[in-house]
Amino acid sequence: MTENPGTPLNPFDEFGGEAVVRQLVDRFYDLMDELPEAYVIRKLHPEDLFGSRQKLFDFLCGWLGGPQYYVEKHGHPRLRARHLPFAIGEVERDAWLLCMEQAMGEILPTGRAHEHILVKLRELADFMRNR
């Protein structure tokens, strides 16, 4: 992808497609298990993270501009509605962002798409707050 400011972003392709999204998701959940600051969100997940990993992978592929796996399997993401059963406040938002931002920093190439996605993920995480 060129760095032409008028070029629409397709982060999925720019980041490297499915293989890189899988690495990102796996690192995100590994960090959730490793970082003490992430315990607040880790306890909201099942002990076995296989299903959570797959759903986030499916969602991020489509959200980043790639295949719409999540929609094909589960329908519209309705993220806020699907997360309403979980108490998500600023602490939970920040713990989620800590893991995602660190995973992105380790896995994804830097550049315009990286910065754009960071901004969008911060907005999305803030939108998920329900407490």
pLDDT bracket for residue 4 (50, 70, 90):
low
List the Cα angle 100/88/77 in 5-degree steps.
70
- Which two tokens mark 103? 């995973």
Assess if residue 8 is contained within a domain: no
> Is 62 in contact with 68 (CB distance < 8 Å)?
yes
pLDDT bracket for residue 6 (50, 70, 90):
low
The reported pLDDT for the residue numbered 2 is 43
Kindly tell me if the per-residue pLDDT of 93 is higher than 80: yes
Report CA-CA distances (Å) from 90 to 25, 36, 63, 125, 127.
Answer: 22, 16, 23, 9, 11
> Is 9 in contact with 116 (CB distance < 8 Å)?
yes
The reported pLDDT for the residue numbered 1 is 41
- Which two tokens mark 98? 């800590």
pLDDT digits (tens, 9 = 90+) for 37-69: 999 999 999 999 999 999 999 999 999 999 999
Round to whole Å and give the CA distance between 82 and 12: 24
For residue 103, give the CATH number of its domain: 1.10.490.10
Instruction: Provide, rounded to the nearest whole percent, the portion of the chain with pLDDT above 70.
Output: 93
**Structure pTM?**
0.90
Assess if residue 61 is contained within a domain: yes
- Which two tokens mark 68? 């719409």
Domains: count for the chain: 1
Structural domain including 64 reads: 14-127
